Each structure stands twice: as C-alpha cells, then as structure tokens.
C-alpha cells in the first residue's frame, strides 16, 4: 500500500454465503477478494457471520424450545462448519490477502478453542495486506434470538488498524448501537468505521449516517444477503424452516457515509454486488474542525471510559515448568 496516499479504495462485498458450508463460503470469499483486486481495492469487507452463515433457523423453528432435537441438529451442523483460527480454516483468505496486497474484514462464526471448542462466537476477523490475522473481535452481546446460538464475546478485539492515512475499526451489527463500544474505537483514533450486518436496509439506512456524524468519520456498512433460493434443500428440517418463509430473508443494505453524514454510496438492496468506493482522508480533517468526539469536544476531566481488552477465559494454568 502507498502510505503517502490521502485516499483509500474500499470494496463492499454484499454476498450470500454457501449456507452452512464453511469451505465453499471461504472459496467464494477468495473469489471476491480476487475481484476486488482487479478493481484496485486496498480493503474489502464482508458481512456479519458470513462464514458459514447467519442462524436463520432460530426464529423459524421455535429456537427457544428447550432440549429440542431440531435445535440440537442445527447446532451440531453449525459447530461442525464454524471456523477455528488454530485449524487454519481462514488460510485461503489470508493467502489471497497476501497475494493481492489487500486488507480484509470478514464476519465468521468462531468455534473458539480457548473456550473449550464447543461454543460459538460471532467473530469479526481483520486480516492485513501481508495475510496476517491482526484482530478477532467476538461480538460483545448477541442480539435477541442470536443468544440461543452465540456466546457473549469480550473486549479483546476492540482494536484499530492503520490503512494508508486512515485508522480503521469495526463492530458487528447491533453492537454498533452501543455508545461505549463506539467510544472505545474513537479513543484509539478511528476515522474509518466498518460496520458489518447479516443484511437489512432498514438497519443500515439510519445508523450508518448517524455514526458518520457522531464520529466525523467515514462509515462503511457491509451486509450479507440471503434469499429463500440460497437455503439448500438438502439441510435437515428444510420444510420446517421454510414453511411460511418470505422469499428474501436478508436484503442487503450495504452503504457508505461520509464524515458529514452525506451518502458516498446509498444502500444496495436485493442482489449480490462488489461495490467499490474511493474515500478521501481530507474529508475527515474538514469535519473534525467543528466536532471531535474524543479530542477538542471531549471532557476527560468529567467523563472517562475504562476498557478491558483481556481475552476472557475460564481457567488459568501454571505448571511446574513455568516456575523460574
């Protein structure tokens, strides 16, 4: 990357997963990274929980029913198809990022080995242009029925990264509504915010512009897409899940707002697309003149935020060999 450039070319990959198929979805992500490279993108972003997909069955198959065999069947498949960083499941994406010198944010469902390997986290992974995983942000609070499938995350991934002149940070879906989570990123100098979603224009159309105005930053919202035709008929309990289901389960809504709240890219609805925008850092400097949420318009003598970025665990072990 040209670190002297004032601009950044960003790709928004609004795509559907190959639902509940980790390896096929990873291959699709790699294909879109290659497409983004052809359009000279320096950053490409994919939606929330894309690999291996969002748990759409929960609200369609009585997901809160305790000890349900239907829910156990879905959960077993979800666990099997979730990613584990330590197992190298994202290696093809890392290799593509390195080959094409492009940074990547990708939403995943993580079967976290450091939490026993059988609970799931909605994890947003940042891979830099050298192909190295730099942060794994586990969603702080799953939303509503998501709590039936996903575990609460922690603050370890509340980190920012340097991309050309921009400082980029990211949050999953409704944690973008959490003022203190946003502030944790602002305080680290964020001026490019990435928000990832499973896919809904009704969700992105207001908050994208609001966050841009609040942070005086560019905000890139990237959504997934899911249509009835994207649900494989081979899955167990297909008929139960699809009974009465609408044709479009997630309609997209990917968009970009500038630091003054104006649209750079209005929400894209209803189809897969790699949208490409060029953003100019000068716009950040202009809008910070009258408001800077953690700079000249902050009062740390009155209010401060404490952020715990320790990766949370259940047990800490000290062996005999650890003694010095």
CATH number of domain containing 314: 3.60.110.10
Please say if the pLDDT value at position 256 is more than 90: yes
Upper half-sphere CA count for residue 290 (Cβ side, 13 Å): 6
Q: Is residue 272 part of a domain?
A: yes
Catalytic residue among 41, 94, 122, 173: 173
pLDDT of the residue at 80: 97
Catalytic residue among 139, 175, 190, 287: 139
Nearest to 175 by CA among 149, 193, 148, 202: 193
Nearest to 21 by CA among 109, 112, 137: 109
Rounded alpha-carbon distances, angstroms, from residue 111 to 18, 215, 303: 18, 33, 37
pLDDT of the residue at 245: 81
Q: Is residue 1 part of a domain?
A: no
Catalytic residue among 28, 41, 48, 110: 48
* Confidence at 244, pLDDT banded by 50, 70, 90: confident
pLDDT of the residue at 221: 98
Crossing angle of helices 201-215 and 179-186, rounded to 10°: 50
Give the chain's mean pLDDT: 95
∠ CA(263), CA(264), CA(268), 5° rounding?
80
- Is 48 part of the annotated catalytic residue set? yes
Q: Is residue 2 part of a domain?
A: no
pLDDT tens-digit series, residues 38-60? 999 999 999 999 999 999 999 99
Range of the domain at 204: 7-322
Question: What is the number of structural domains in the chain?
Answer: 1
Q: Is residue 23 part of a domain?
A: yes
């Amino acid at each position: 990357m040209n670190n002297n450039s004032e601009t950044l070319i960003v790709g928004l990959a609004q795509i559907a997963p190959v639902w509940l198929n980790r390896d096929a979805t990873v291959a699709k992500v790699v294909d879109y990274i290659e497409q983004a490279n052809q359009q000279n993108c320096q950053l490409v972003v994919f939606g929330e929980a894309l690999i291996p997909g969002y748990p759409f069955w929960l609200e369609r198959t009585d997901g809160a029913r305790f000890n349900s065999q239907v829910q156990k069947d879905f959960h077993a498949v979800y666990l099997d198809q979730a990613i584990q960083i330590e197992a190298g499941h994202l290696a093809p994406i890392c290799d593509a990022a390195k080959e094409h010198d492009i940074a990547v944010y990708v939403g995943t469902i993580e079967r976290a080995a450091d939490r026993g390997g059988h609970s799931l986290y909605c994890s947003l992974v940042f891979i830099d242009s050298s192909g190295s995983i730099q942060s794994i942000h586990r969603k702080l609070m799953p939303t509503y029925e998501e709590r039936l499938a996903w575990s609460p995350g922690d603050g370890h991934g509340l980190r920012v990264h340097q991309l050309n002149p921009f400082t980029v940070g990211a949050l999953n879906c409704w944690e973008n509504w959490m003022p203190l989570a946003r502030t944790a990123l602002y305080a680290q100098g964020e001026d490019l915010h990435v928000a990832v979603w499973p896919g809904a224009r009704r969700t992105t159309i207001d908050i994208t512009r609001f966050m841009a105005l609040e942070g005086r930053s560019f905000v890139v919202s990237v959504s997934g897409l899911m249509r009835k035709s994207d649900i494989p008929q081979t899955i167990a309990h297909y008929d139960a899940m699809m009974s009465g289901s609408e044709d479009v389960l997630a309609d997209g809504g990917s968009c970009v707002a500038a630091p003054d709240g104006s649209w750079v890219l209005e929400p894209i609805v209803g189809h897969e697309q790699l949208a490409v925008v060029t953003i100019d850092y000068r716009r950040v400097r202009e809008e910070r003149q009258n408001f800077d949420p953690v700079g000249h318009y902050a009062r740390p003598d009155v209010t401060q935020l404490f952020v715990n970025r320790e990766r949370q665990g259940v047990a800490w072990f000290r062996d005999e060999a650890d003694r010095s």
